[in-house]
């Protein structure tokens, strides 16, 4: 879908390559403060893109990323030439992150948002022991594992895939519930859930088997209970080149070696 815009803001990770690319683009196209720009151009890797999306949630800002990192799955290819035309022709993706709510061993409560996934992990040498509840119904009375995650379609090709979880098409109204090194039930490989469910993970034997919870890059230590649900009132917006849309990339990932 074609769009017009008046101003661009260039933001970059701290790497030498990303900063040099930002300087080169500013010399050609100028630069506007992020709060006033129509489109924010993020230069870096996937981690920097996630950071930029977190920083701009609910702002209405469109984010166009160009890869100046390593993997760059979330990014478009880098090029100095023709940037306004690329942005005008880009495909827009709008999505809601997950909201993580934790009850912690010290009596506090924590909140965080996740674009990729919410994960719980063992904190010590002993495997975690978890109870898994979906929409108020106990689905796993006891899961012994190194960890467990709830991944969005956006994050399904990230850590979820490394843990042998399923790849989800971006348009799929699904979440992937994926264990990390499940010991009991040994044959359980995870589940696909509607994206409107609420998943609760209760930590069993928390004194003996402490667990941490992570929403993207935000970690909470020594949690007792983790509630995970889609945040319907929070939105992030990203632009991708027509020949390199997120949907295309997710499909291609399923045929890669």
Same structural domain for residues 119 and 201? Answer: yes
Q: Is the pTM of the predicted complex or chain greater than 0.75?
A: yes
**Out of 46, 195, 216, 241, which one is annotated catalytic?**
46
Could you report the per-residue pLDDT of 133-175, keeping only the tens digit for each?
999 999 999 999 999 999 999 899 889 999 999 989 878 899 9
Residue in the structure block whose two tokens are 């993970």: 201
Same structural domain for residues 63 and 122? Answer: no
Q: Give which of 153, 150, 144, 134 is closest to 199, Cα–Cα.
A: 134
Does 198 appear as a known binding residue? no
Same structural domain for residues 225 and 159? Answer: yes
**CA neighbours within 13 Å on the CB side: how many for 232?**
5
3 part of a folded domain: no
Does 124 appear as a known binding residue? no
Cα–Cα distances in angstroms (integers) from residue 91 to residues 2, 6, 84, 213, 220, in the given order: 9, 18, 14, 33, 35
Same structural domain for residues 86 and 128? Answer: no
| Residue 152 φ/ψ region, left for φ over 0, alpha for ψ in the -120 to 50 degree band, beta for the rest | beta
Does 47 appear as a known binding residue? yes
Does 117 appear as a known binding residue? yes
Same structural domain for residues 86 and 113? Answer: no
Domain CATH for 208: 2.60.200.30
pLDDT of residue 245: 65
Same structural domain for residues 242 and 133? Answer: no
Same structural domain for residues 205 and 109? Answer: yes
Q: How many domains does the chain have?
A: 2
181 part of a folded domain: yes
Catalytic: 241?
Answer: no
Could you report the per-residue pLDDT of 175-217, keeping only the tens digit for each?
999 999 999 998 899 999 999 999 999 999 999 999 999 999 8
- Find the radius of gyration of the CA atoms of the chain: 20
Contact predicate 153/250, CB 8 Å: yes
Q: What is the DSSP string of 157-225?
A: TTHHHHTTPPP--TT--EEEEEEES--BSTT---EEEETT-EEEEEEESTTTS-EEEEETTEEE-SEEE
Domain CATH for 17: 3.40.50.10330
Does 46 appear as a known binding residue? yes
Phi, psi (degrees; rounded to nearest 5) at 109: -125, 140
d(CA 54, CA 65): 14
**Domain carrying residue 42:** 8-96+235-253
């Amino acid at each position: 879908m074609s769009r017009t815009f008046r101003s661009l803001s260039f933001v970059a990770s701290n790497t030498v390559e990303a900063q040099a690319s930002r300087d080169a683009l500013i010399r050609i196209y100028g630069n506007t403060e992020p709060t006033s720009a129509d489109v924010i151009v993020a230069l870096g890797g996937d981690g920097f893109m996630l950071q930029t999306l977190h920083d701009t949630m609910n702002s209405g800002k469109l984010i166009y990323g160009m890869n100046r990192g390593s993997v760059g799955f979330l990014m478009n290819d880098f090029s100095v030439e023709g940037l306004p035309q690329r942005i005008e022709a880009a495909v827009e993706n709008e999505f809601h992150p997950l909201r993580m709510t934790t009850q912690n061993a010290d009596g506090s409560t924590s909140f965080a948002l996740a674009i990729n996934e919410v994960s719980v992990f063992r904190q010590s040498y002993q495997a975690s022991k978890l109870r898994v509840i979906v929409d108020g119904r106990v689905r796993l009375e006891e899961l012994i594992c190194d960890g467990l995650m709830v991944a969005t379609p956006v994050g399904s090709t990230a850590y979820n895939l490394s843990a042998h979880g399923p790849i989800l098409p971006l348009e799929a109204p699904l979440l992937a519930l994926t264990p990390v090194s499940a010991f009991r039930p040994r044959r359980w490989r995870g589940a696909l859930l509607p994206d409107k469910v609420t998943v609760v993970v209760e930590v069993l034997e928390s004194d003996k088997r402490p667990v941490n919870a992570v929403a993207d890059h935000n970690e909470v230590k020594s949690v007792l209970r983790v509630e995970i649900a889609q945040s319907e009132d929070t939105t992030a917006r990203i632009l991708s080149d027509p020949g390199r849309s997120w949907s295309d990339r997710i499909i291609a990932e399923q045929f890669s070696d």
